[in-house]
Chains A and B, each alone.
Chain A
Amino acid sequence: MRSPCSSGSASLLMQFAIRTDPGERTIVAPVLLSGNEAIARGAWEAGVRFGSGYPGTPSTEILIALAKLPGVRCEWAPNEKVALEVAIGAGMAGHRSLVTMKHVGLNVAADPLMTLAYTGVSAGVVILVADDPGMHSSQNEQDSRNWGPFGKIPILEPSDSAEALAMVRDAFGLSERLDMPVLVRSTTRLSHGKTLVEVGERVESDTPGYRKSAAKWVMVPGNARGRRVDLEKRLAAARAESESFAYTVEEMRDASLGIVCSGVVYQYVREALPDASTLRIGMSFPLPEDRIREFAGKVGRLVAIEELDPYLRSSLAAMGLAVQVVPVPHIGELSPGRIADAFGIAAPDTRDPMDDLPARPPMLCPGCPHRGVFAALRTMGAVVQGDIGCYALAALPPLSAMDSCVDMGASIGMAHGMSVVNASTGVSGVPVVAVIGDSTFAHSGLTGLLNAVYNNTDTTVVILDNRTTAMTGHQDNPFTGRTLMGVPAPEIDIEAVVRALGVTSVQTVNPNLLKPTAKALGEAVAFPGVSVVIARAPCALLDKEPHDPFAVDEDECTACGECIRLGCPAISRDDTAKAVIDTALCVGCRQCVQVCRYGAIVRAGRACDIGSGL
């Protein structure tokens, strides 16, 4: 999987077509931008000077795009909580600031978020949160609109790239007028969809620098009570803004059916029910109740259509409106067809899906250094508390070497918890191992490790240091020695960090060397107390050096299947069950060479065929 054309920043370079007409006036022709590019552009046009965030599909490309535009400093934070706090500080000091994250990231940032509405802002602070209905790349599909009433924060929902640009651009002024942070909710189909956009020029923002105000910024109870009361006034102002919000659009067609919707769902509705009247809500908190009532008064049947939670429907019902329930699914993504189906509109003639096709789950790449660690852990029979990153793919057969994956950083806490119980119930002989990536360790592994040391259990933590944040498309992190702006940064030494947290048993291994890795893991689990193994080898996709591939000597191969059990995409079985290596896919990592007891895997010259292009 070393295609230069795969996901990530390469395909997301901003291309803005600017031409000049005979009268020398600059005309900006519409360009095709992803929602993420448009969001970045909107922030830039608003004069944003600072961006912070943590990668997470489908939000990642926003900061990457923003960092390429002039006059903005962008940073990857170690996690979303830090990202938001940094942006609050930057806003306090007078720079309009954008914070980006995926939906689950906002859980991590919830602590500052929930008080930010109280303090309010100085320069505008906009939080971009990208939901993932259908869980294309996520562990859950929570609906971020709920943060509106919960955190008392205005929420905007663009329905295509053009609106994303415009709404994000205007969100900063809104944030400043209201003295509130503004949340912009994207979804996968907005962020990773592309639609035509007319771009504008940057307008430098002119916001005052820091002004000391304890009553506003120091949220001790005495001050917070005051700000809580003040927040009601700001919410009332937000509600007024919502009533006149330019991106809430009523479109009257056939008045017998009126649909209230927001975000990309509007596009599905227009396609599924072209004759229905629509009220597209641009600000989903606070809702424009007057405009909703007005619309409800004009239509026959009133229906809310939305992805995930029945947020609009419940709100309309709470307003006392006779909103009808139509069986639109509240699990997964919507589509025109799913909406049409809920309204009893017959689907077009289609073929039946073909049965019995082999599944194609994602898998660890050829040469992935994570593979060596999981091969060893499987042999040890360890209970592996997993974490979030490419290595979660090791949970699939044939490695099947991961027992859990819940949230970023969970591995260490869960391993410690299990070790506590094993120690008290006398379960022994089953090592408990936490496995966590370098980026995830920086994100939220440190506190878990500190806890395990403090509360002292026999827990082994493996840090998979592949020198990058791979799963989300190779972003830098505090351990890689480079920032998002592409400048060198102190390359923080994981081993020193781990020792400073009180771990005394620390080993560093190259996971591509299977025996030393297995040996280190064996020693680590035998160690009484917390032990750490740092498995360090760069992600195979970052290694651009060509290494000669390997091939199977079929005379020596006994078809034992050991190499197959590594789950490498380059190794399969032939008709006689013997192994064959696809030399076009093999990156020469040598892991299979080390598991073959018969010396049947040998160097091959680089093949002239080019295989699948993976």
Chain B
Amino acid sequence: MSVTSVMLVGVGGQGTILASDVLAKVAATSGLDVKLAEVHGMSQRGGSVDTVVRFGEQVFSPTIDPGVADHLVSFELIEAARWLHWLRPGGRLVVNNNVIASLPMLTGSCVMPTGLEAALAYEGAVFLDAEELACEAGSPRSANIVLMGALSVGLPFPEQVWRDVITKRVPPKTVEGNLAAFELGMRACAHGVCEI
């Protein structure tokens, strides 16, 4: 009766909420019990955000503790480092290697830490440039769906289920771009290693 926990982290406004909704619906459509915990409000104004999706035969808690996530998908590089300890040892780490400067960095009171990529790579991170792939898909705002494509490679759900859910969930005009984005994300991680 095992439960899979996926954590999506990033910066408020990056579309983690829509992505987590897609993932949760994919799991639900596949006949599993699902719970999702997201945070609205203040942090959506450019703060650090996290969303948890859990699925399995029976799920109790909608939230998790550090060390429990089976998959950590970070929409931003620094956030990957911030939330890394929530990933269980041996869990799968997907990182969008985009950096968004936080307010203390913008004003110069903090600097971009060095060596983050190396540290994350050491932990087995799979990197991709979701923004670039989204652009390539012709849908610049679909970086979140690129990342779902990358995540999907490590999950047991058929591609068609993802495509159906995305089709229903995103604005009608953006369906094509989002499906292309999903596919690019998936392909970039097809062999477990992303080519940047």
Whether, in the assembled complex, A610 has its beta carbon less than 8 Å from a beta carbon of chain B, the answer is: yes
Tell whether, in the assembled complex, residue B62 and residue A473 are in contact, meaning their CB atoms are under 8 Å apart. no
B192 at the interface (CB under 8 A from A): no
Residues of chain A within 8 A of B43, CB atoms compared: 136-137, 362
Q: A341-375 toward B: CB 8 Å interface, digit per residue (1/0)?
A: 00000011111111011111111110000000000
A residues in contact with B161, CB < 8 Å: none
- Rounded to whole angstroms, the CA-CA distance of A335 and B36 in the bound complex is 14
Separation in Å of the B86 CB from the closest CB of chain A?
8
- Residues B65 and A3 in contact, CB atoms below 8 Å apart: no
Q: How far is B62's CA from A192's CA once the two chains are assembled, in angstroms? A: 10
Interface size range of chain B in the complex = 35 or more
Cross-chain contact B41 with A7 (CB below 8 angstroms):
yes
Shortest A339–chain B CB gap in Å is: 10
Task: Tell whether A32 is near chain B: CB-to-CB under 8 Å.
Answer: yes
* B44: chain A residues within 8 A (beta carbon): 1, 6-7, 362, 473
In chain A, what residue has the closest Cβ to B130?
A: A613
Return the chain B residue nearest A36 by Cβ: B40
Number of interface residues of A (CB under 8 A): 79
A276 to B15, CA, bound (A): 39
A398 within 8 A of B: yes
For A195, give the chain B residue with the smallest CB separation. Answer: B35
Could you say which residues of chain B place their CB within 8 Å of the CB of A567?
103, 106-107
Q: CB distance B39 to A188 under 8 Å?
A: yes
In the bound complex, residues from chain B placing their C-beta under 8 Å from that of A267 are 35, 60-62
Q: In the bound complex, do residue A30 and residue B28 qualify as a contact, i.e. CB atoms below 8 Å apart?
A: yes
Report if A441 contacts B (CB, 8 A): no
Q: In the complex, how many residue pairs between chain A and chain B have their CB atoms under 8 Å apart?
A: 249
CA distance A192 to B51 in the complex (A): 10
Q: Is the Cβ of A351 less than 8 Å from the Cβ of B89? A: yes
* Nearest B residue to A613, CB-CB: B143
**Which residues of chain B in 35-62 are interfacial with respect to chain A, using CB atoms and an 8 Å cutoff?**
35-48, 60-62
Q: Is the CB of A354 within 8 A of B37?
A: no
Q: Which of A349, A353, A614 contacts B89 (CB 8 A)?
A: A349
Q: Which of B15-36 contact A (CB under 8 A)?
A: 15, 17-19, 21, 24-25, 28, 33-36
Asked if B112 is at the interface of the complex by the 8 Å CB criterion, the answer is yes
State whether A358 touches B45 (Cβ < 8 A).
Answer: no
Residues of A within 8 A of B152 (CB): none
Instruction: Return the contact of B62 from the options A264, A561, A565, A613 (Cβ within 8 A).
Output: A264
Q: State A424–B15 Cα separation when bound (angstroms).
A: 53
Is A68 at the interface (CB under 8 A from chain B)?
Answer: no
Establish whether residues B28 and A6, one from each chain, have CB atoms under 8 Å apart when the complex forms: no
Q: Is B45's CB under 8 angstroms from A362's CB?
A: yes
A1-38 vs B, CB cutoff 8 Å, 1 = contact: the mask equals 11111111001000100000000000000111000000
Q: Write out the residue numbers on chain A whose beta carbons fall within 8 Å of the beta carbon of B131.
A: 609-613
Q: Are A192 and B78 neighbours in the complex by a CB distance under 8 Å?
A: no
B67 near A1 with CB under 8 A, answer: no
Of the candidates A365, A396, A473, A613, the one whose C-beta lies within 8 Å of that of B15 is A613
A128 to B164, CA, bound (A): 35
Which residue of B34, B140, B141 is within 8 Å of A195 (Cβ)? B34
Question: Quick check: A32 and B11 within 8 Å, CB to CB?
Answer: no
Kindly state whether residue A291 has any CB partner on chain B within 8 Å. no
A257 within 8 A of B: no
B60 touches A362 (CB 8 A): no
User: Is A189's CB within 8 Å of the partner chain B?
Assistant: yes
Question: B14 on the interface (CB 8 Å rule)?
Answer: yes
Q: CB within 8 A of A564: which of B21, B38, B87, B107? A: B107
Q: Are A614 and B17 also in contact (CB < 8 A) when A267-B62, A472-B41, A567-B107 are?
A: no
The answer to whether the Cβ of A196 comes within 8 Å of any Cβ in the partner chain is: yes
Q: Mark A572-609, 1 if CB is under 8 A from B, else 0.
A: 11000100000000000000000000000000000001
Q: Which residue of B lies closest to A570 (CB)?
A: B106
Residues of A within 8 A of B14 (CB): 3, 612-614
Q: Does A193 belong to the interface (CB within 8 Å)?
A: yes
Give Cα A6 to B11, complex, Å.
Answer: 10
Cβ-defined contact, A358 with B134, below 8 A: no
Complex Cα–Cα for A610 and B82 (A): 24
A4 touches B107 (CB 8 A): no
How many whole Å from B127's CB to the nearest CB in chain A?
16
Q: Does A410 contact B (CB under 8 A)?
A: no
Q: Indicate which residue in B39, B67, B104 contacts A351 across the interface (CB closer than 8 Å).
A: B67
Mask, B138-159, CB within 8 Å of A = 1, is 0011011000000000000000
Residues in A neighbouring B2, C-beta threshold 8 A: none
B25 neighbours in A (Cβ, 8 Å):
32
Question: What residues of B have a CB within 8 angstroms of the CB of A196 in the complex?
Answer: 28, 33-34
Tell me how far the C-beta of A302 lies from the nearest C-beta in chain B, rounded to whole angstroms.
21
Closest to B99 in A: A612
With both chains docked as a complex, state the minimum distance between the C-beta of A580 and any C-beta of chain B, in angstroms: 10
Write out the residue numbers on chain A whose beta carbons fall within 8 Å of the beta carbon of B98: 612
User: Contacts A196-B28, A337-B65; is A358 near B104 (CB within 8 Å)?
Assistant: yes
B109 contacts the other chain (Cβ, under 8 Å)? yes
**With A7-B44, A610-B135 given, is the CB distance from A359 to B110 under 8 Å?**
yes
CA gap between A350 and B85 in the complex, in Å:
6
Bound form: Cα–Cα A614–B110 in Å? 21
B87 contacts which chain A residues (CB < 8 A)? Answer: 351
A572 to B111, CA, bound (A): 11
- B107 x A397 contact (CB < 8 A): yes
The reply to whether A7 and B102 contact each other, CB–CB distance below 8 Å, is: no
Question: Are B134 and A610 in touch, CB under 8 angstroms?
Answer: yes
Contact B40 A350 (CB under 8 A): no
* List of B residues within 8 angstroms of A136 by Cβ: 39, 41-43
Per CB-CB distance, the 4 closest pairs between chain A and chain B, nearest first, are A137-B41, A337-B65, A350-B67, A57-B41
A-B contact pairs, 28 of them (CB 8 A): A1-B45, A1-B46, A5-B17, A5-B18, A5-B141, A6-B13, A6-B15, A31-B28, A137-B41, A189-B63, A193-B62, A196-B34, A267-B35, A267-B62, A268-B63, A353-B85, A354-B119, A358-B104, A359-B104, A360-B48, A362-B12, A363-B45, A390-B45, A471-B45, A564-B106, A569-B46, A572-B105, A614-B100
Given contacts A136-B42, A471-B41, 8 further A-B contacts (CB under 8 A): A1-B45, A194-B38, A270-B61, A360-B48, A360-B79, A564-B107, A572-B105, A613-B14
